């Protein structure tokens, strides 16, 4: 199942970008504020229509797929952890099963239970979403995406509201998903996370592709200086790098 952006352009936001994403990999999309990361992710998820070009899933244009088919293949976590309805955590997560309506109830419950366990939400299962902290709500929203068991996980800043332990656990979940042959595409501001845990990093700058490759290349000190405009130095060993800035 391939996911490709071909000459993708959104006026004032993305400039004719071509990109083929790979299953079995964690791809990080990095770049400064306003670089076009969320715009690209929304296009890949089929939620934002490009002005030029298209996104193709297995060679089929996203716009031509049935919504249910698209929702089964592409799981999307938006940047802001907003929830429109004050339902319980379990009900919120069960919404992730909507694309699989008609599947056996046992299968649905197993997926929901696994997502609750993966995001450490057992204690909150019956709690209304309005009574969660910001990080707990972010975990519940991630669990909803996991419950779908999509072929592609597209997550916009999935670690932003999480404490250290839950962030590390979620990175581990992403690695499991990639190892299971799924595609994982993450917008990340934390360049150390991208350096240490991504297989590939796509760097955007003012709507353009500035770098694309293994983290050591795409997040080299030169690229960081050029794109983010600040001197930075990588410290530590491969796999446990820390970024010293300034």
- Min separation Cβ 201 and ligand ATP, Å: 14
Q: Please give the distance of CA 181 from its chain centroid, rounded to a whole number.
A: 15
- Min separation Cβ 4 and ligand ATP, Å: 19
Q: Which residues of this chain interact with ligand ATP, rule CB under 6 A? A: 12-13, 31, 33-39
Nearest to 79 by CA among 136, 35, 18, 142: 142
- Min separation Cβ 205 and ligand ATP, Å: 9
Nearer of residues 33 and 106 to ligand ATP, judged by Cβ? 33
DSSP states of 13-76 as a string? TEEEEEEEE-TT-EEEEE-STTSSHHHHHHHHTTSS--SEEEEEETTEEGGGS-HHHHHHHEEE
Nearer of residues 78 and 128 to ligand ATP, judged by Cβ? 78
Phi and psi, residue 144, nearest 5°: -60, -40
Nearer of residues 40 and 56 to ligand ATP, judged by Cβ? 40
Nearer of residues 75 and 207 to ligand ATP, judged by Cβ? 207
- Min separation Cβ 233 and ligand ATP, Å: 23
Nearer of residues 118 and 209 to ligand ATP, judged by Cβ? 209
- Min separation Cβ 54 and ligand ATP, Å: 18
Reduced to 3 states (helix: H, G, I; strand: E, B; else coil), residue 135 is helix
- Min separation Cβ 188 and ligand ATP, Å: 10
Nearest to 13 by CA among 210, 207, 209: 207
Phi and psi, residue 78, nearest 5°: -75, 165
How far apart (Å, rounded) are the C-alpha atoms in residues 245 and 223?
A: 13
Phi and psi, residue 29, nearest 5°: -105, 120
How far apart (Å, rounded) are the C-alpha atoms in residues 175 and 167?
A: 12
Identify any residues that bridge with 37 across adjacent strands, giving them in sequence order.
Answer: none
Nearer of residues 39 and 177 to ligand ATP, judged by Cβ? 39
């Amino acid at each position: 199942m391939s996911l490709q952006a071909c000459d993708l352009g959104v006026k004032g936001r993305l400039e004719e970008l071509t990109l083929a994403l790979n299953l079995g990999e964690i791809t990080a999309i990095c770049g400064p504020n306003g670089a076009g990361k969320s715009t690209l992710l929304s296009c890949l998820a089929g939620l934002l229509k490009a002005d030029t070009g298209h996104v193709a899933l297995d060679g089929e244009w996203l716009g031509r797929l049935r919504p249910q088919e698209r929702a089964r293949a592409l799981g999307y976590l938006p940047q802001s952890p907003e929830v429109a309805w004050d339902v319980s955590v379990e009900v919120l997560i069960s919404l992730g099963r909507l694309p699989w309506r008609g599947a056996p109830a046992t299968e649905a419950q197993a997926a929901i239970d696994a997502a609750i366990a993966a995001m450490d939400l057992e204690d909150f299962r019956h709690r209304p979403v309005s009574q969660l902290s910001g990080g707990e709500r972010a975990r519940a929203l991630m669990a909803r995406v996991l419950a779908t068991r999509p072929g592609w996980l597209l997550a916009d800043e999935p670690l932003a509201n999480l404490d250290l332990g839950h962030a590390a656990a979620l990175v581990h979940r992403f690695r499991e998903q990639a190892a299971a042959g799924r595609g994982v595409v993450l917008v990340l501001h934390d360049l150390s996370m991208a350096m240490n845990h991504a297989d590939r990093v796509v760097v955007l700058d003012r709507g353009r592709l500035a770098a694309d490759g293994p983290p050591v290349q795409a997040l080299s000190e030169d690229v960081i200086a050029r794109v983010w405009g600040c001197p930075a130095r990588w410290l530590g060993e491969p796999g446990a790098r820390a970024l010293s800035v300034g």
